[in-house]
Structure 1
């Protein structure tokens, strides 16, 4: 079911614009009027990384008049294989600045707005309220929950995608879609606890095929243009699954025809995903999710964890013979080879209870475990405690925080 266009036609096109978009306007579903709608459109893209790169490039090339770019990160060389919007020369620059520069070069007829801010319950409403469509290219489940709740609250279509390894997904959420098509994130993932259990499986850890980002990002851009122009069949209530290994796509229907209930409890106030109760509508909220890479347990910090500055002091004390503990790196070998903390012992999480691990980490030892952030290290610490280790702590923020605060000359990934 095609929906009504979200945007009215804007000003007349200049001769330069008529020439630029001629092949696009040749499509009867777009035409001159549709191109004027795009010129009058405002779209914000959350994340300028692997998914955000192709989305931003194609929206800019299509002539979307105003594009907002939201990202708080910097360009990293380890991401360039999939974040094709950024050149090698931009490594170390703010992503929003790099993205905006490339988009303005690509199409001088559009306006690009830079939002160099973190997406939080306090900032999200300002980010999404002034745009016609919100496209999510982030890879953090907490951010997706916040963005979905905000879009549901203000009635904005929320174009969503995900990529990991060789698998991609794309769909459209819209709490105010007509004709029984209203959907929100909770319709796709009613069991947020199960979804949250995989939330620390990020591209940095599990890897991702670069061209898959272009495939899924192109779908997200197409869905956005369809919503703006009011043509075609949006992916409302349908999840498009892409398997790059098999070269297949599968459509999975989800949700019901009942009006979607926006989950908005956490928007507009400080948000703690581990103390907030169930979200609006009775769906299990972020509090139900296990601890993951991007959410350290602050309430356990005094007894179960150490900060990177505390670890630095402990390592210096160990070097002087004033402390005795084993620092265990539970990441994978390729991560350890890229960057490591001097004096650590590599025991990947999958083998943390193996006989080899017992030899490297005696049961009566004081143990401190770390990973990339701290999701895997928290699971490792729990497993060790359950197997009889008495004194086990994890490093808050992992080696990413260590490099940022203690050894900035080492690479981050």
Structure 2
């Protein structure tokens, strides 16, 4: 179904762009307005390998304005069979830089950003935050789950694909899409648990046909453009499965697991031939407004909460702040919203650390892992996501404010602004 475009139109098209993209401009779903949206778009592609090559080629050729390429590997002779961005002369070069050079030759009107880094929990949020859509062309469980969870945390759509032998799969994960796009789904709704690394087959051990990579990569690129421009039916909650041997395509529908239920085993989500892609282990919660099940301000007591409480009320936070002022309590209160939100209203005595900077060195200085940390946002969707994320990355005494700053103002400081 139609959904809202992710990106607003950018600058007017130049004569060179009008000429280059003429065949796209004639498509009613794109046109001048859509091409200007592509020009303003930013897409991060994880991996410049068998899937990344066709994805990058298609997106750059289509005129996506800024494309980031994350890959820390170097080109090997065995890559050339399917990683069509590279030539024999590139063997030994870093993949990100070699891909950027090849893509600049393809379309010098776009900006390709080579990122020769390995994704880690320390850098993934900052990388993902700069882009509108994340495209996963990686080949190991750890990176897949790490990148997906960062995208989920920041509310970014995540285009996913996988290939092995003659088989391929593609889908779109988006925890909190606009209502018009459909119901939000995450990686763990399809693959409940990450398998041990040694249990997963790889292209190196099992082999892969390069043409299948091209087929799945083209689907991923198409989904990315549909997301950016807001047209077509997304592969959201639909896994597209390709069998190259039988020349068939089929669809497997999936949805979010019911609240409070145990994630479905893989056999109930997809065929056994589909290997789950893997480690933040964050909950598959969406960044939503508070629901009836969330704590409300009048549920909180003025007594100090237990040190291990995951969520506290505004009244409890007020008691803690008063105790900290007296020197009886020690903790760090952290605002995970964006700077523009803080200009509207904030809780006195808090530190600003936006979501994208949670694991930065500066953030760790402000909230050491052995310190008690309390997070808040506008309501409590982002702070809850951040709490779970940080708990998986070393913080042992972390909680967040139920209802966020909105409940704080309603219950504690009614003279402050609400938005």
Q: TM-score, normalised by structure 2?
A: 0.61
Question: What is the aligned partner in structure 2 of residue 186 from structure 1?
Answer: 188
Q: Which runs of 5+ in 1 are unaligned?
A: 264-275, 283-413
- CA distance, structure 2, for counterparts of residue 257 and residue 52 of structure 1: 30
Retained in 2: the 8 A contact 1:66–1:113? Answer: yes
Question: What is the aligned partner in structure 2 of residue 305 from structure 1?
Answer: none
Shift of 1:260: 11
Question: What is the aligned partner in structure 1 of residue 333 from structure 2?
Answer: none
Question: What is the aligned partner in structure 2 of residue 201 from structure 1?
Answer: 201
Question: What is the aligned partner in structure 2 of residue 87 from structure 1?
Answer: 87
Question: What is the aligned partner in structure 2 of residue 213 from structure 1?
Answer: 213
Q: How many aligned residue pairs are there?
A: 267
- CA distance, structure 2, for counterparts of residue 260 and residue 216 of structure 1: 34
Deviations along 1:355-381, one digit per CA (max 9) or x if unpaired, are xxxxxxxxxxxxxxxxxxxxxxxxxxx
Shift of 1:32: 0.5
2:274 aligned with 1:280: no
Retained in 1: the 8 A contact 2:188–2:284? Answer: no
Shift of 1:191: 3.7
- CA distance, structure 2, for counterparts of residue 133 and residue 260 of structure 1: 29
Question: What is the aligned partner in structure 1 of residue 19 from structure 2?
Answer: 19
Distance change >3 Å, CA 165–CA 35, structure 1 → 2: same
Distance change >3 Å, CA 29–CA 213, structure 1 → 2: same
Q: TM-score, normalised by structure 1?
A: 0.62
Shift of 1:200: 3.0
SS of the residue corresponding to residue 186 of structure 1 reads helix
Question: What is the aligned partner in structure 2 of residue 42 from structure 1?
Answer: 42
Please give the residue correspondences for 1:310-321 in structure 2 after superposition, counting only pairs within 5 Å: none
* Stretch deviating more after TM superposition (2-11 or 173-182): 173-182
Distance change >3 Å, CA 198–CA 159, structure 1 → 2: farther
Distance change >3 Å, CA 206–CA 38, structure 1 → 2: same
- CA distance, structure 2, for counterparts of residue 3 and residue 27 of structure 1: 17
Q: Which runs of 5+ in 2 are unaligned?
A: 264-278, 286-419
Shift of 1:3: 1.2
Please give the residue correspondences for 1:146-157 in structure 2 after superposition, counting only pairs within 5 Å: 146-157=146-157
SS of the residue corresponding to residue 99 of structure 1 reads helix
Distance change >3 Å, CA 91–CA 247, structure 1 → 2: same
- CA distance, structure 1, for counterparts of residue 260 and residue 189 of structure 2: 8
- CA distance, structure 1, for counterparts of residue 132 and residue 280 of structure 2: 31
Shift of 1:181: 1.6
- CA distance, structure 1, for counterparts of residue 253 and residue 13 of structure 2: 39
Retained in 1: the 8 A contact 2:226–2:234? Answer: yes
Distance change >3 Å, CA 84–CA 199, structure 1 → 2: farther
Distance change >3 Å, CA 224–CA 281, structure 1 → 2: closer
SS of the residue corresponding to residue 67 of structure 2 reads strand
Deviations along 1:166-212, one digit per CA (max 9) or x if unpaired, are 1100000011113352111001111434xx47753000110000000
Question: What is the aligned partner in structure 2 of residue 141 from structure 1?
Answer: 141
Distance change >3 Å, CA 168–CA 199, structure 1 → 2: farther
Question: What is the aligned partner in structure 2 of residue 2 from structure 1?
Answer: 2
Please give the residue correspondences for 1:265-276 in structure 2 after superposition, counting only pairs within 5 Å: none
Distance change >3 Å, CA 22–CA 257, structure 1 → 2: farther
Retained in 1: the 8 A contact 2:145–2:280? Answer: no
- CA distance, structure 2, for counterparts of residue 97 and residue 52 of structure 1: 14
- CA distance, structure 1, for counterparts of residue 242 and residue 106 of structure 2: 28
Retained in 2: the 8 A contact 1:182–1:259? Answer: no
Deviations along 1:4-54, one digit per CA (max 9) or x if unpaired, are 000000000110100000001110000000000000000010000000000
Question: What is the aligned partner in structure 2 of residue 169 from structure 1?
Answer: 169
Question: What is the aligned partner in structure 2 of residue 235 from structure 1?
Answer: 235
Question: What is the aligned partner in structure 2 of residue 339 from structure 1?
Answer: none
Retained in 2: the 8 A contact 1:238–1:253? Answer: yes
Distance change >3 Å, CA 178–CA 43, structure 1 → 2: same
Deviations along 1:138-177, one digit per CA (max 9) or x if unpaired, are 0101111001100000000000000000110000001111
2:222 aligned with 1:222: yes
- CA distance, structure 1, for counterparts of residue 75 and residue 197 of structure 2: 28
* Stretch deviating more after TM superposition (229-238 or 197-206): 197-206
Retained in 1: the 8 A contact 2:146–2:280? Answer: no
SS of the residue corresponding to residue 72 of structure 1 reads coil
- CA distance, structure 2, for counterparts of residue 191 and residue 145 of structure 1: 10
- CA distance, structure 1, for counterparts of residue 231 and residue 71 of structure 2: 30
Question: What is the aligned partner in structure 1 of residue 351 from structure 2?
Answer: none
